[in-house]
A and B are shown apart, each in its own frame.
Chain A
Amino acid sequence: MSDTIQTRHYTARQAALLQRRPTDIIEAANSVEDALEGRDQFLVHLNHSHTGLHGANISILGVGALGHGIAAPLTAGTKVLVLSTSWPTTAPELLTDLEDYHAEDSWSRWAGEAKKALQKAGSSAPRQTTAAARWRVERLSSLQAAFGFTIQDLAAVLGVTRPQLYKWLDAANDIKLQEASRARLAAVERMAKEWTSRSSAPLSSVGKEQLAAGRSAFASMSAEVINEAAVIACFDELVGKLQEKPKSRSQRLREAGFTRRPSVRSLPSDE
């Protein structure tokens, strides 16, 4: 790179178009833009500054939303300075002293640091969620709390695949559920409500046990068409089975006085 560097605040794409930069920097900038796609007014800001004769300027590179820049210090001491305070709507501001610009090595070092910082900033940008997606995850968490099913079993109950359920569980996925999925989810929620009104234990503890009707609750719940009334009707039988379950070894240990040692993380916070 032996060209001038014009700096300002620009979007990554503008930066790539306006500047003649090493390919890897452009790619890194573009990858940041991809990572931040859909976020309002997210800008990439590249600075390259120098130690001059009369003092040191610290090089920085930042990626951030307007007014919320993230800065990472760069270590390369250089000869040319480029600074920017402009906004996207203003013209690029060129502060390069071309006569001093002969620091090929410093540029290379800076370029390497810039690429790393861009990649890091891109990957650490928080993922966006919507209220609807968060609400969907909340509903699924409530179901898991009520039933205690494995992901595989809950997916079967909801009539989706395991990978699909993981997508539903990711609030960054703004998925619009199909009508059939919504109806199934609502039906399963109604059953969860019925179950939690009877027991605070998860249904999974007894969910696969054979019932008097000849089928387990889990089998009924994961059928292609759920007979809600029939499933709910078997809940009382399941509660009875729960009460008959023998105590686990750890429960017996606790009852005999062998309690859990508190973890160090339970010490009061110093904050």
Chain B
Amino acid sequence: MAFGDDVAQRGWQTGSVVPAAMVSALEQLLTRPGQQPTQIADADWLTIVSQTCDVVASRLDQEPLVEVLHCRPHAGKPRKGRRDLESTRHLDFRPNRATHQQLVLAAHAINDRYVIPRELLAAHNPDAGRALDAIASQKVLAWYALRAGRPSWPNNFCDRVRAVRDALEDALDALSDEIAEVRVGIEEKAEELEPGYPYHVAVFFVVDEDVWSGDVDGRKAINDAFANFVAEINACDGVEVNQQLSEVVPGNEFSWQETKQTDLWDFANLSHRD
């Protein structure tokens, strides 16, 4: 049997949890330079976050390592600013609503991430009672993808926008990604501007074509959100909205070129110095 088949047969995949029996063998590997090995408490979830295709790759030498995320229980609800991919650094999430209805786990993208030898997976089965459900697995992978793919906005721009973050979040409350996407172009995207020199931004709400052509209520919600968002960001000290260019536009008219000239608006983009 190929190595990967053995691992697959045991049930390892993205979201599998390392069983208690295996943790003791791992603890010496969960280290940081100059620090004591990380202690994994019984209630903690040491979760596989490599993609399943890598976890079950047939040859060990192709994928010698797998990534694990050390998640700790958090008492209470997922915290604002950490839930639902609001931060690229911290994540509070519900690992499995079916088996652990009330449980919330918390993790840090860098501090809690480790790599372990994949060969260890062939000696153990994953934890039988704990695993991330499909939604939580997707969320964790999306979290890492978001972190890797986020645009690097100037720190001074982020600092200025953070001052109105709550108001901007409120403005977008009624807007789901499925009806419109918020994109911004930042004229000085590579510059750290001193106080007194404003950043210039163009704001686009790109509307799903079906909503644009057939959903008056959806368009009203989008236009409401656009008005509020633009007003708030324009009121932000040190940021000016280019009112000649900013628009609500149908998705079938927003070009590939314009996509390249703008960034997807994401509050997680503001979190890199949190």
| Chain A residues engaging chain B, CB cutoff 8 angstroms | 120, 123-124, 126-127, 137-138, 140-142, 144-146, 148, 150-152, 162-163, 166, 169-172, 196, 200-202, 205, 248-251, 260, 262-271
Contacts and interface: CB of A to CB of B under 8 A. Distances in A.
Nearest to A196: B216
Given A150-B247, A172-B235, A250-B251, 17 more contacts: A123-B237, A126-B166, A140-B223, A144-B219, A148-B248, A170-B227, A170-B235, A171-B231, A201-B213, A201-B214, A202-B213, A251-B252, A262-B178, A267-B135, A270-B92, A270-B94, A271-B84
A28 to B, nearest CB: 13
Given A170-B234, A263-B177, A263-B178, A145 B138 contact: no
Nearest to B245: A151
B142 interface: yes
A142 B247 CA distance: 15
Given A264-B138, A271-B84, A127 B227 contact: no
A123 B220 CA distance: 29
B51 interface: no
A191 to B, nearest CB: 14
Contact of B236 (A123, A205, A268, A271): A123
Nearest to B139: A267
A140 B181 CA distance: 21
Contacts of A141: 220, 223-224, 227
Contact of B230 (A138, A140, A166, A262): A166
B40 interface: no
B166 A271 contact: no
Interface of B: 77-78, 83-85, 92-94, 104, 135, 138-139, 142, 145-146, 163-167, 176-178, 181, 208-209, 212-217, 219-220, 222-224, 227-228, 230-232, 234-237, 243-244, 246-248, 250-252
B85 A265 contact: yes
A145 B243 CA distance: 19
Q: Please provide the 5 A-B residue pairs with the shortest distance between their CB atoms, ordered closest to farther.
A: A145-B220, A170-B231, A145-B219, A264-B142, A141-B223
Contacts of B214: 200-201
A127 B250 CA distance: 30
A202 B220 CA distance: 11
A265 B176 contact: yes
Nearest to A121: B163
A145 B142 contact: no
B251 A166 contact: no
Contacts of B246: 151
A84 B184 CA distance: 44
Contacts of A249: 252
A137 B94 CA distance: 38
B22 to A, nearest CB: 27
B235 A127 contact: yes
Nearest to B231: A170
Contacts of A137: 224, 227-228
Nearest to B94: A270
Given A145-B216, A145-B217, A200-B215, A270 B104 contact: yes
- Residue among B104, B219, B251 with most chain A CB within 10 A: B219
Contacts of B94: 270
A120 B112 CA distance: 31
